[in-house]
Structure formats: structure tokens, C-alpha cells
Amino acid sequence: MIPPVRRLAAVSVLGVSVLGAVLAACGTAEAPRAARQASAQPSPARPSPAASRPPTLAPGPAGQAPVFAHAPRTGDKTVALTFDADMTADQGGRAAAGERFDNPELIAALRASKVPATVFMTGRWAEEYPVQARTIGRDPLFEVANHSYSHYAFTADCYGLPTVERDAMRADVERAYAAFRKAGVPDAMPYFRFPGGCYDGQALRAVRGAGVTAVQWDVVSGDAFATDADAVARQVLEGVKPGSVVVMHCTRSAAPVTERAVRAIVPELRRRGYRFVKVSELIGATGGHR
């Protein structure tokens, strides 16, 4: 298999730009400025009659989707590992040529260690790997959340990703849910991670109609393009605080050392007294309503 760096050199100029963007997009760097500015404190919880619904946050200001980045620092030592299953709408040809955007060994390692996790999946990924999408979605250890259908950007300037038009943003989110249903994922969560973590007020308003809570992170693992699993593990272990959300990837070709990093991270955080939870539990602990 061609290493990612060499593969980069083998694709077109546009391909380089998009590939770099996709792989850099999900948390290799600090969240974009717009994201930081728009990051909102959770709104007060509101009771809901539907007891079985996943917890969500109350709407943000001006009709915007609420934004969640981490739980309150109450001292409760919980941490959510999140894995972005990235595949972009235009990467089908590369998958057909043998590039692997999945990471079944990572999922197996999480299962073996009984580590709950939230997988932010693109609709295109679920189309490419429907059996994996379904088994992840039907495993109570995991929850599937939405990372858009296309993995195109929801702001104009986001790591060089192609941009979703504003009036197509909600449809892109809903198309991902349709892809999950088609793959057999029964209960995808109403949580949405913007590709690249890039969003602004317009984007938050655009996706509000899809009923989602936007989910960011407070710990960047740096696993995209990483070759040193220990460095990724160190970065996570230095960053985690009670209530943290860690962003990592479930995409072998782009994040080849993630499984090894997780094998180091999990026992150490447990030794420090941390309990792994899904994003839904953190949002519930934040005062989200069910």
C-alpha cells in the first residue's frame, strides 16, 4: 500500500489540495477563529416529553444550532473519544483504487478494551462501508453521529475544502442521515461535526433545521498524517481534562497510527481515574434535555 505521503504526490494538484484539506481538516490544528468566536456556552436545559430521545442542547441565539465542545469541568473524570470517519464525496475513485478510508482494526481495539466512543461519520463513508457503518451503529458501545454527507466545508475558507452552498447545507446533513439509514444504522445521533470544525453564524443557522447540536472538541489528538503513535498519545494525555472531547480519526489512510495511540491512551487515562463515555453522556451531563 502506498504510504499517504507518496499518495499525495501521485494525485492531481487539485487532489493534493483537497486531500490535504480533508486530512488536515479534522482537528490537526486549533479550531478556526470563527469557530472559537462562535463557540457558545450551553444554553439552559429545557424539559422534553420524549424520554427516549438523546440529550441535546437548547437552541443557540438567533435560531442557531447550539454548539458543544466539552462538558463542565465539574471534576467528574469523564472523557469522550470521538473518531471522524472521513470520506469526501469525490473520493470514490480513490477508494475503488484501493485506498482505505476505514479502520476496522481501530474499532476492534475499542471493542476489545470496552471503550465507548462516538463516530462522526460522513454519509459518503457509510455508502462505501455499509457493513461497518451498520455494525458500528448497532453496537451499544458506540454511537454514530453526523459529519456531513460530502465532507465539504460549511464556511468559505476551511483548509481548502470545496464549499457547500448555504442553501444546500441542511440537505447535506440530512443526506448523511439518509445514507446512515440506508446502511442500516438505526439511531444516528442528532450531533453534527462540521467538516474541519469550520463554522460561522450562517452555518449554524443553516443546520438548525436539521435539529442537530454541533459538536466540536477541546483536545486535538494530532493523529491525521501522524507517524508517531507515542506523540499522538502524549498530546492527548497532556490535553485531557474532566469532561473533555478528544478528536481523532477512523480513516486508516489518513491516520495510520490512531489505533496504536488509542492502545496507549486508554490504559493511562483509566489509571488516572478517567471513565470513557460517549458524547451523548457528556451532553446529558451538561444539562442537555432528553
Cell numbers of 202, please?
A: 450562517
Could you tell me the CA-to-CA distances from 151 to 83, 242, 256, 269 in Å, in that order? 14, 30, 20, 31
Q: Which CB sits closer to Zn ion, 45 or 257?
A: 257
Q: Which CB sits closer to Zn ion, 95 or 269?
A: 95
Write down the least CB distance from residue 193 to Zn ion, Å.
7
Q: Which residues bind Zn ion (CB under 5 A)?
A: 26, 84, 86
Write down the least CB distance from residue 112 to Zn ion, Å.
25
DSSP per-residue letters across 57-113: PPP-GGGPPPEE-----SS--EEEEEEEE---TT-HHHHHTT-----HHHHHHHHHT
Q: Which CB sits closer to Zn ion, 142 or 217?
A: 217
Q: Which CB sits closer to Zn ion, 217 or 274?
A: 217
SS3 letters across 241-289: CCCEEEEEECCCCCCCCHHHHHHHHHHHHHHCCCEECCHHHHHHHCCCE
Q: What's the distance, CA 22 to chain centroid?
A: 12
Cell numbers of 129, please?
A: 462501508
Write down the least CB distance from residue 285 to Zn ion, Å.
25
Write down the least CB distance from residue 151 to Zn ion, Å.
6
Rounded distance between C-alpha atoms, residue 106 and residue 253, angstroms: 13
Write down the least CB distance from residue 199 to Zn ion, Å.
13
Closest CB to Zn ion belongs to which residue?
26
Q: Which CB sits closer to Zn ion, 258 or 286?
A: 258
Q: How many CB atoms lie within 10 A of CB 271?
A: 8
